[in-house]
Structure 1
Amino acid sequence: MVKILIADSENLEIEALKLIIQRKFKEVKVIATANCSDELIEKVEYINPDIIFIDMLIYGLNSFDVIRYIKKTYVNKKIVIMSIYDDFYFVRKALKLKVDDYLLKPIKVENVVEILNEFINIDKDYSINNELKFVLNYIEKNLKGNIMLQDIASCMNVSTSYLSKSFKNKMGTNFNKYVTKRKIEEAKYILKSTDISISDLTFNIGYNEPNYFCKVFKKVEGMTPLEYRELYKNK
């Protein structure tokens, strides 16, 4: 859920923007509003929104000073300035403060939709990349063990089916095939660099039965582990 805070001195403006967001986005929720700069700063601190819409003429402190403070203190917040001024001076000043977007009043539905779609897609990409990184790191750290998708899903607090689909979409292969591939790659490295027995190798890469490991290895490489070792030694 993407959390939004709207800061505007005019309640009618707040309600209009809130209505647009509620009608167009199920995964976005306006969790708070503010009518002055002090209230805005307080709610940013305690409610922790993802996106903040700020009217440039909000009561209290200068809106640019407020934005400067929020950007410095809460670096990951996305800020959208709202203004009646279609003026390059204000746009340039907002850009210097690294404001994420500029919304001209009166607010148009299509402009709000465009801005939020862009933000949500960026957040989704970031989230998916972090998820994938976690899964790949988990696999690398647990190659010697029995790696189960449901265990990783439980660690990430997501469903097994969701994680399975997400992994396949990003990696182009399913989870079990990828884990098998990594285990066999590790086995090949060990076979080439050590004289470890096949039995010990089996347990070192998380398999319980040498016969089963040899069967999996042959299916992937087209030869047994011992044949692979001999082939490498003869090169």
Structure 2
Amino acid sequence: MKGQPGIMKFKVAPEKEALLKISTVFPPKYPVHSIPHAEIEFVEGDFGSYSTQIIKTDSWAIGWLRFSIKKEVILYPTTDNAMVALYCTLTGSIPCKLEGVGPLVLENKKYSFYYIPPLIHNEATFVPGEYEAVYISFGDDFLAECAEEDLIRLKDLYNRKVKEMQSGEVFPPFNITNRELENFDMIRYHKLSGTKMKLHLASRINDLLVNYFSILETGKDTAQDEKNTAVHTVARYIALHLGGNLTNPMLETVAGINVNTLEKEFKKVFLVPLQQYVEDARMEEAKRQLVQTHLPIADISRNVGYSDSNYFSTVFRKKYGMSPTHYRNTHK
């Protein structure tokens, strides 16, 4: 219906249509989380399978997409109604062709606003692999209210939707940060129903909108800020837990970002590898305790994270050219 949020459908080449198996439930043991109160469509073909889960109101629609592709295939995303949507790629990158825009890539872990013309078959090329995405599309009334108030940049997309223009439009994509991922998790794993569910989902949507347009208007992507914050969080954690578990898996958990990203960003800030920083911090604390306390070497070793005092002494000697005992005797 005109004015309603657009719903994205995926079509296959005409010669493949008769081979599709379509269901409104997931197959038993299928590894996809079923979103409460969503309408499910599960489609299976010789290329693999894909599913859509839709929750819709008059103001917005949430579409959760999952693709499990066994062999390369071109799917044709289309919508019966003109569609303005925030599209977020959670897993995998997808080369596409959008009418009026041309070739583009829906990049892994990025999100952006799109206008998608009605009744036009765009193209999306999938190579074998797993893909996951979520889109949030908006009705005319919702867009009009946003465009007239704070989110003025939506006005162009709103006008395109109302006029059902046949040329697509894309806003700049930005990195998906932990803040967005938390909102998506709260959408996917909610356990609410009725009015409470709608209010909960609307709140998550509003948070995503505010964050996206804050970046768009200021030109500042918060992803790098988030990485810097994670790095300094880890540095503080190391300083407070020198006697504890400071392995990369533990520090990855503390940081909340991938360990490879953590190591890369940490070295940018502190100019040494992450584990070198840990060792340096432990040795500095060991030196302090050697000079300022009368603790046995074995106790100091445990205090700075070394259960084996012989190994601690080896590391200390390699770094400072003398044993812990010699260091204590020469610095008292």
Report TM bin, short chain.
Answer: 0.5 to 0.7
User: Equivalents in 2 of 1:170, 1:14: separation in Å?
Assistant: 45
Structure 2 partner of 1:201: 300
Answer whether contact 1:146 1:206 (CA < 8 A) is retained.
yes
Structure 1 partner of 2:159: 12
User: Equivalents in 1 of 2:259, 2:223: separation in Å?
Assistant: 18
The yes-or-no answer on 1:119 pairing with 2:220 is yes
Q: 1:130: Cα distance to partner?
A: 1.4
Answer whether contact 2:230 2:256 (CA < 8 A) is retained.
no
Q: 2:259 aligns with which of 135, 160, 165?
A: 160
Q: 1:13: Cα distance to partner?
A: 5.1
What is the aligned-residue identity percentage?
A: 24
Cα distance change of structure 1 residues 178 and 46 upon mapping to structure 2, 3 Å threshold:
closer
Cα distance change of structure 1 residues 14 and 179 upon mapping to structure 2, 3 Å threshold:
farther
Answer whether contact 1:146 1:207 (CA < 8 A) is retained.
no
Structure 2 partner of 1:27: 175
User: Equivalents in 2 of 1:149, 1:226: separation in Å?
Assistant: 30
The yes-or-no answer on 1:187 pairing with 2:326 is no
Task: Trace 1:1-235 onto structure 2 (pairs within 5 A).
Answer: 1=110, 7-8=146-147, 11-12=158-159, 19-21=169-171, 24-25=172-173, 27=175, 45-49=203-207, 52=210, 115=217, 118-120=219-221, 123-233=222-332
User: Equivalents in 2 of 1:131, 1:159: separation in Å?
Assistant: 10
User: Equivalents in 2 of 1:206, 1:46: separation in Å?
Assistant: 42
Q: 1:22-47 CA distances to partner (integer Å, 9 max, x unpaired)? A: xx426379xxxxxxxxxxxx997441
User: Equivalents in 2 of 1:154, 1:224: separation in Å?
Assistant: 34
Cα distance change of structure 1 residues 140 and 157 upon mapping to structure 2, 3 Å threshold:
same
Q: 1:118-149 CA distances to partner (integer Å, 9 max, x unpaired)? A: 221xx133212210122112212210123111
User: Equivalents in 2 of 1:200, 1:231: separation in Å?
Assistant: 20
User: Equivalents in 2 of 1:226, 1:152: separation in Å?
Assistant: 31
Answer whether contact 1:50 1:78 (CA < 8 A) is retained.
yes
SS at match of 2:305: coil
Q: Residue type matched to 2:263 in 1?
A: S
SS at match of 1:8: helix
Q: TM-score, normalized by length of structure 1?
A: 0.56
User: Equivalents in 2 of 1:195, 1:162: separation in Å?
Assistant: 41
Answer whether contact 1:153 1:159 (CA < 8 A) is retained.
yes
Cα distance change of structure 1 residues 214 and 43 upon mapping to structure 2, 3 Å threshold:
closer
> Which structure is higher in helix share?
1
- How many residues were matched structurally? 160
User: Equivalents in 2 of 1:14, 1:198: separation in Å?
Assistant: 73
Answer whether contact 1:186 1:205 (CA < 8 A) is retained.
yes
User: Equivalents in 2 of 1:187, 1:176: separation in Å?
Assistant: 16
SS at match of 2:207: coil
Q: Residue type matched to 1:160 in 2?
A: V
User: Equivalents in 1 of 2:252, 2:205: separation in Å?
Assistant: 28
Answer whether contact 1:187 1:201 (CA < 8 A) is retained.
yes
Instruction: Decide which moves more: 42-51 or 189-198.
Output: 42-51
Q: Residue type matched to 2:205 in 1?
A: I
Q: 1:48: Cα distance to partner?
A: 3.2
Gaps of 5+ in 2: 1-109, 114-137, 149-154, 181-199
Answer whether contact 1:3 1:51 (CA < 8 A) is retained.
no
User: Equivalents in 1 of 2:236, 2:294: separation in Å?
Assistant: 28
Cα distance change of structure 1 residues 232 and 135 upon mapping to structure 2, 3 Å threshold:
same
User: Equivalents in 1 of 2:204, 2:173: separation in Å?
Assistant: 24
